[in-house]
Amino acid sequence: MKVASLIGSICVASSLFAGVHSAHWGYTGAEDPSHWGDLDPKYAECKLGGSQSPIDITAKNTIKTVGLEPIKFDYKTSAVSVINNGHTVQVNIAEGSTITIDDKVFELKQFHFHAPSENHIDGKAFPMEAHFVHSAEDGSLAVVAVMFKDGTDNPIINRVWKKMPHKAGEKTTCKLPAKMINDMLPSDKTYYRFDGSLTTPPCSEGVRWFVMKHYSEVSAEEVQEFSHTMHHPNNRPIQPTNARKVLQ
């Protein structure tokens, strides 16, 4: 699948990408995650794939790896816009911010939110999870996931929420500076790594997942505002780990 198509899928904003004609999907009713694989032949991997995301990261499926390569973050450009695409709130990033891993450079395209969290750690869900979506020149994708635990108001989230459109399909400008985007990440950037998929249709596999071990904070009021805007939870249920192992 071409990178533009993959990015369009993981951005869960198909209605905002010209030329994309796929079945509508959602998180409730007959279009909820349990039905995704049957809504469109393009979504077959949602039910047939063996390396689907999200997963529950537990002691049973993790392997301690000596010298796990650190992710080289180089986020140096600002946000340009915020979109409510009906499935999430997505912050688009200007070109030029990257991570480097596996001797490959991935450009940060956008980050978006799920509440409650999609991935779990030791059986625990978190109030909210952010996905930082990156693409390499060859079309491969890498997602850095940050969990948000209950705590005080998050000033960066608060700033994004002030720009957050409350109607699906709306888009606003957002000049969130690079420093704030960096500050959304925990200072300790150790991580869990596994091979997975998009967590939205078409659920394409081959995505590198990096789940941060340390968390940021968000207030209950901020989570509530996001959930009210979405009108329902926007998390895909946990998928079978199967034979996969999580590196740490």
Active site residues: 87
Task: Please give the full DSSP string across the chain, using - where no structure is assigned.
Answer: --HHHHHHHHTT-GGGSTT-------SSGGGSGGGHHHH-GGGTHHHH-SS-S--EE-GGGEE--TTPPPPEEE--S-EEEEEE-SS-EEEEE-TT-EEEETTEEEEEEEEEEESS-SSEETTB--SEEEEEEEE-TTS-EEEEEEEEEE-S--HHHHHHHHH--SSTTEEEE----HHHHHHTS-SS--EEEEEEE-SSTT--EEEEEEEESS-EEE-HHHHHHHHHHHSS---PPP---TT--EE-
Q: Could you list the pLDDT tens digit for every one of the 248 residues in the chain?
A: 334 434 444 443 333 333 346 799 999 999 999 999 999 999 999 999 999 999 999 999 999 998 899 999 999 999 999 999 999 999 999 999 999 999 999 999 999 999 999 999 999 999 999 999 999 999 999 999 999 999 999 999 999 999 999 999 999 999 999 999 999 999 999 999 999 999 999 999 999 999 999 999 999 999 999 999 999 999 999 999 999 999 99
pLDDT score, position 66: 85
Domains and CATH numbers, the chain: 3-247 (3.10.200.10)
